[in-house]
Structure 1
Amino acid sequence: MFTTRPTLQGTFGMAAGTHWLAAQTAMAVLEDDGNAFDAAVAAGFVLQVVEPHLNGPAGEVPILLAPAGGPVRVLCGQGVAPAGATVAHYTGLGLDLVPGTGPLAAAVPGSFDAWLTLLRDHGTRSLREVLTYAVGYAERGHPAVERIGETVETVRGLFETEWTDSAAVYLPDGRAPRPGALLRNPALARTWRRLLDEAEAAGPGREQQIDAARRAWREGFVAEALAAAAARPTMDTSGERHTGTLTGDDLAGWHATYEEPATYTWNGWTVCKPGPWSQGPSLLQQLALLPDDLPEAYGSPDSVHRLVEGTKLAMADREAWYGDADGAEHVPLADLLSPAYSAGRRRLVGDTASHALRPGSPGGRTPRLPAAALAAAGRGRAVAAGTGEPTVPSPVAPADDRVGKGTEAFPADALPADAARHAGGPHVDRNGLTRGDTCHIDVVDRWGNMVSATPSGGWLQSNPVIPELGFPLGTRLQMAWLEPGLPNTLAPGRRPRTTLSPSLALRDGRPVLAFGTPGGDQQDQWQLHLLLAAALRAPVRGGLDLQGSIDAPNWHTESFPGSFYPRTMRPGSLVVESRIGEEAVAALRARGHRVTVGPPWSEGRLSAVARDPETGVLSAAANPRGMQGYAVGR
């Protein structure tokens, strides 16, 4: 079968991710005798420089790691809600949702501490050695990708009138970064250089220096600047100026933590995900809902229908049950993944598409959905999807202004508002109503260490740039509800349920595959497709057909509440790449799906690395969509 690129194979090391400079940075660290964890950390910091519209230093990152010969662990880089982030505080301001931008939406930043914890505990290189690549790109510049300038142009009015410190970085001389032009961020380079100086002043030890840098972030000059930025009144998506709740005490009191992964075994594959403080277990639920005869039907309209309906059921459970809850409100994950519960849910999949939001009752519990979700579901019609990470990160629409080629096409103004907007790229208005996105990096080394990470948040369009630091605060609190009593209700010290969801899969107890994608609510839909395709497609040179699995036509549904402000949904929706073909589209519409046909290469930004535990052969592949992701290795 035709693929856009070969699946890479080798024995030394492999890296794949959403930007070629990050993947190549990871490979450079491997070539310098670093391990997969050193490489992932270096690549993670480079992503903050070269994809500032997709992630930043004050964002967050969940990391799945499999040390050679050791157990799979989750390293949680998702910060918690500040002590002052109570429902009463937000509703007292007249808000019914956490704004999508501005300091009110800022959780405790988690990315920096998570990356440094990974480096300290599992890496071998010094902090200076892994940071040198990002410092160089920030200081000397990197060729800007198209999306940076596009994003800045859409937020130009906000930058010029309200967030003027952001304009100083991203609109120098009044011009947005042009594709291929060198983009520099000297303030960010100075921040990292100061962190390095303070770290090395603490003593000669590698771990000692890393912990000193963590303290400088959580309690020193970085923390002071972050807290001061949160206290400044800032225009946000509410149309008003608000101050945030993040304080120095919040920053000092949090650090990244290790956890056991949530797991499920399907067809010999044991899939590991972050826990239900993320949407990760929804992939496990989708696997648990697969019909026994799927391998025979995989790729047909019938199998797509059944996968879509399973996705809707899993995501309805996400809305009713997932969150950073414990005690009496704990998430009943064992019941949600149990054979009896899954069998009952599987019987709900009929011959026609459901447009309803149908959470289940694991262990006999009564599901409770947010009132806003019930209202959106009750309307029973397509509405504009929420802002946040894009669901169709596709190229600009064709010149004839029609979306979709090779099958039925539609004028952009005839599509649902959300699909039409995606066709033109990110959307940001004067009040900061934004669509950001996310990054991803996977690495495997010759010793068998494997890591998968999905950094996000702290986008250039999420909050004003802090001039003395060179980056903005994040906005992850927008994913929590202001309705009391829900698993994902905003509460001090709780993590807002995140869409960020890297994956690691094992065969016979041994790590084989690390993979992931940006895409907000779509991450665990697109990853399902990759896993199924990799498991069911014919091998390539004796190994997994990673590139073919990534290249295969993909789809997603938005028939559940979006995780981002303003938290709306499109009941019965199904967005497909035009390469799926006219007959498949017609068959799916006949089953009642509200099908939107997108451009041929528009669904997902997947990447993956793999290792054959029998032979030690490594492989990698990356997404061709968007002309940005790349895999490297030897």
Structure 2
Amino acid sequence: MFTTRPTLQGTFGMVSSTHWLASQSAMAVLERGGNAYDAAVAAGFVLHVVEPHLCGPAGEVPVILAPAGGEVRVLCGQGVAPAGATPGHYRGLGLDVVPGTGPLAAAVPGAFDAWMLLLRDWGTMPLADVLSYAIGYAEHGHAPVERVGETVESVRRLFETEWTTSADVYLPGGRPPRPGERFRNPALAATWRRLVAEAEAAAPDREGRIDAAREVWRTGFVADALVRQAARPTLDTSGTHHTGTLTAEDLANWSASYEEPVAHEWRGWTVCKAGPWSQGPVLLQQLALLPPELPAHGTGEYVHLLVEGCKLAMADREAWYGDAAPVPLGELLSEPYNAARRALIGEKASYELRPGAPGGRTPRISPHAYTVLADAPGVPGAGEPTVSRDGATRGDTCHVDVVDRWGNMVAATPSGGWLQSNPVVPELGFPLGTRLQMTWLEPGLPNTLTPGRRPRTTLTPSIALRDGEPVLAFGTPGGDQQDQWQLHFLLALEQLPHVRGGWDLQGAVDAPNWHNESFPGSFHPRGMRPGSLTVESRTPPETIADLRRRGHDVTVGGAWTEGRLCAVARDPRTRVLSAAANPRGMQGYAVGR
């Protein structure tokens, strides 16, 4: 099939990310002798600089890592709800849902500490060296992609009238950043320089300095500035000014942590994901829902099967996933349960939300989840966030995958802390996040807002094994769409002809994709669009006609609008490495040699 780029192959190292500067920075780390984890951390901090509308250091990042010869691990960089973030507090403010922006939506920041743990425990390079790339781009500038300026323009009035600290950074000279002109964030560069200097003064060794940097973040000048910002009354999507609940104690008492991945076997693959505090098991359940034989790739029958399976898995996500109550994950992924669920897929598109009853349990869903959104189905435009005039955003993220010459592999999906989420903290150069908007205020739900518990996130990096060997790291931005696009990618690897003796990663990335929104969205205002299905215009006309005949409410989007997938792979037999990156949005790139 036609591909926009070749699938890269080599033996030294491969990187794929959602921005070329992050990919090349990670590759530079590999060239200097660093490993995959050093490279991923460097890329992550560069993404905070060059994709500030998609991620920030006060956001979050789930990481899946597969050390050469070791066990796959999940590093959870998702912060918890602050101690004061109770449903009663929000109800007392007259709120029915958590606002989509502002300090009330801020969880304890998680990304920074997770990056530091990854670097300390698995990397080899000094903190100053790894941060040097991000500091350089923040201090000396970079040419921003179009969507940075477009996002700033969409919230210009908010910045000019309310979030003036954001205007100071993102409206230089009174206008948004422009492609082809250097854009700088000197406050962010100064933050990292001061943090590195304090860490180096506190300890003589690499690991000690990284731990010292973590303490500066949690209890030092960074923490002080974050708490001051949370206490400032801020206009949010409720139309009212609110202060947040984040305190010094919340920051001091939380750290990133390791856990076992959730894994599922399918046709020789072992797919590893983060647990049900993330969206990750949705991909696994979609695989479990597939029949033994699949229809021909790209046909109406094929797309219909995948979309209807997605609706069932997403309904179970809404009813059962979260961190505030036990999740019956074993039953949700079991063959008997999914065989019964599979029988619900008929010839016609379903317009119902149909959660299952694993083990005879009764599903409970927030009444707000059933809200039918009146506006047209959204075409996300290469997975970018949709932003309204008041700053409400459906949210999005970044992604990076790395594999090195030793066989270490990592997939990470940094997100949150977007420039449109909260005002920039003036002392630091970046904003707080808004991940608490994904929780509910009704009591007793798996995703009820609960102090000390993680909000259920959409972030979902992947690592897959064959015969017990890690062979593939992949992921994508896209909010609720992430595991829809990843399923299509993984199945395409099975069905497309191989190239150069290996999987056609680029062909699987480039293949026409789609998404549906027939389930409660994770972002404010949290409604759904029953029966909706958005497909790329490159989808064969006969496929579109068949889907409409089956009852899907089909919107034909742009030719290159569905997905921002990244992937790297390693053949254990030949030790050949490969990589591919998404052409949609004109900024994702793979590099390697």
Partner of 2:515: 556
* Helix, strand or coil at the partner of 2:424: coil
Paired with 1:231 and 1:177, the residues of 2 have a C-alpha distance of 29
What residue identity is the alignment partner of 1:434? T
1:61 correspondence with 2:61: yes
Partner of 2:559: 600
1:410-433 deviations in Å (ceiling 9; x for gaps): xxxxxxxxxxxx8xx73231x322
Q: How far off is 1:299 after superposition?
A: 2.0
Partner of 1:353: 349
Paired with 1:436 and 1:358, the residues of 2 have a C-alpha distance of 25
* Helix, strand or coil at the partner of 2:585: helix
1:143-169 deviations in Å (ceiling 9; x for gaps): 011001101111010000000011011
Partner of 1:525: 484
Q: 2:333 aligns with which of 330, 337, 351?
A: 337
Using a 3 Å threshold, how does the CA distance of structure 1 residues 196 and 385 change in structure 2: closer, same or farther? farther
Partner of 2:469: 510
Q: How far off is 1:175 after superposition?
A: 1.2
Using a 3 Å threshold, how does the CA distance of structure 1 residues 394 and 40 change in structure 2: closer, same or farther? closer
CA RMSD of aligned residues (A): 1.2
* Helix, strand or coil at the partner of 1:428: coil
Paired with 2:63 and 2:381, the residues of 1 have a C-alpha distance of 23
Q: Is the 8 A contact 1:100 1:565 kept in 2?
A: yes
Partner of 2:196: 196
Q: 1:383 aligns with which of 359, 368, 374?
A: 374
Partner of 2:367: 371
* Helix, strand or coil at the partner of 1:25: helix
Q: How far off is 1:352 after superposition?
A: 0.4
1:493-519 deviations in Å (ceiling 9; x for gaps): 010000000000000011000000000
Q: How far off is 1:117 after superposition?
A: 0.2
Q: Is the 8 A contact 1:225 1:469 kept in 2?
A: yes
Partner of 1:106: 106
Q: How far off is 1:369 after superposition?
A: 1.2
Q: Is the 8 A contact 2:520 2:526 kept in 1?
A: yes
1:92-116 deviations in Å (ceiling 9; x for gaps): 0000010000000000000000000
Partner of 1:305: 304
1:183 correspondence with 2:180: no
What residue identity is the alignment partner of 2:226? L
Paired with 1:62 and 1:54, the residues of 2 have a C-alpha distance of 15
Paired with 1:118 and 1:74, the residues of 2 have a C-alpha distance of 10
Deviates more, 1:464-473 or 1:363-372: 363-372
Paired with 1:455 and 1:204, the residues of 2 have a C-alpha distance of 30
Partner of 1:393: 381
Paired with 2:489 and 2:531, the residues of 1 have a C-alpha distance of 23
Partner of 1:581: 540
* Helix, strand or coil at the partner of 1:525: helix
TM-score by length of 1: 0.92
1:602-631 deviations in Å (ceiling 9; x for gaps): 000000000001110000000000000000
Paired with 2:104 and 2:410, the residues of 1 have a C-alpha distance of 32
Q: Which runs of 5+ in 1 are unaligned?
A: 396-421
Partner of 2:24: 24
TM-score by length of 2: 0.99
Paired with 1:18 and 1:458, the residues of 2 have a C-alpha distance of 17
1:34-62 deviations in Å (ceiling 9; x for gaps): 00000000000000000001101101000
Q: How far off is 1:535 after superposition?
A: 2.1
Partner of 1:474: 433
Q: Describe how 1:148-547 pairs up with structure 2 within 5 A.
A: 148-294=148-294, 296-325=295-324, 329-374=325-370, 376=371, 383-384=374-375, 392-394=380-382, 426-429=386-389, 431-547=390-506
Paired with 2:153 and 2:514, the residues of 1 have a C-alpha distance of 29
* Helix, strand or coil at the partner of 1:183: coil
What residue identity is the alignment partner of 1:352? K
Q: How far off is 1:582 after superposition?
A: 1.6
* Helix, strand or coil at the partner of 2:57: coil
Q: Is the 8 A contact 1:442 1:451 kept in 2?
A: yes
* Helix, strand or coil at the partner of 2:555: strand
Q: How far off is 1:300 after superposition?
A: 1.3
Paired with 2:586 and 2:288, the residues of 1 have a C-alpha distance of 34
Count of residue pairs brought into register by the alignment: 593
Partner of 1:41: 41
* Helix, strand or coil at the partner of 1:627: coil
1:618 correspondence with 2:577: yes
1:562-618 deviations in Å (ceiling 9; x for gaps): 000000110011100011122111110000000000001000000000000111000
